[in-house]
Amino acid sequence: MPSLHELGLKYGTDKATAHQYCDFYEKNLPGRDFKGRLLEIGIKDGASLKMWQEYYPHADIHGIDLIAARVKGCTTHVMDQCDIVAMHNNLPYFDIIIDDGSHMTLHQQISFDFLFENKLKNNGLYVMEDLHTSFHRSYVNSMYTTDDHLKTLFNEKHRRSWCRVPDFSDSYTMIIAKNKFPDEL
């Protein structure tokens, strides 16, 4: 069976190419037998949804974006990641939520604060991709960075992070556990 990284390359997602997140995800997300529900915010052309769909063949894969993208076998929703009313009314509960949306710090924080508390199941995982934008002024449009926000809310027991470069200036991702990581259950 191909690894998550190999599937990412197959479908051309930047999770495997530019950012190289896949090996970290494979170690920290549930195994291939995962039968839960996964949401990805920011689906662009659907490449990563296809990757997740093949990696988790028994899961219910969802995606949201401002622009409609159809991916066979996945449920896609056209909505803004900051539209709490739409998310509340139209999204079910999830076991894994991946934010690969706008990367603007205010958007990340609005989505996270609502979804983590209201749409993420107990022992679910929330993945904040491209967190390195917290260190780029052009993405910081909030009182504090998303990196600071998450580190204030969660101690190291509840978060795991990985960065491709030592100074956190590129390809930085964090997984936050709502109680426990899969290897702790």
Burial class of residue 67 (count of CB atoms within 10 Å of its CB; 0-12, 13-18, 19+): exposed
Phi-psi region of 179 (alpha: psi -120 to 50; beta: other; left: phi over 0): left
CA distances from 15 to 8, 26, 86 (A): 7, 12, 27
Nearest to 129 by CA among 44, 71, 6, 9: 44
Q: What angle is formed at CA 162 by the lines to CA 175 and CA 92, rounded to 5 degrees? A: 20
Identify the DSSP state of 123: E
19 belongs to the catalytic site:
no
Residue of 5, 19, 62, 103 marked catalytic: 103
Alpha carbons 93 and 121: distance in angstroms, whole number: 6
Q: Which residues are catalytic, by number?
A: 103
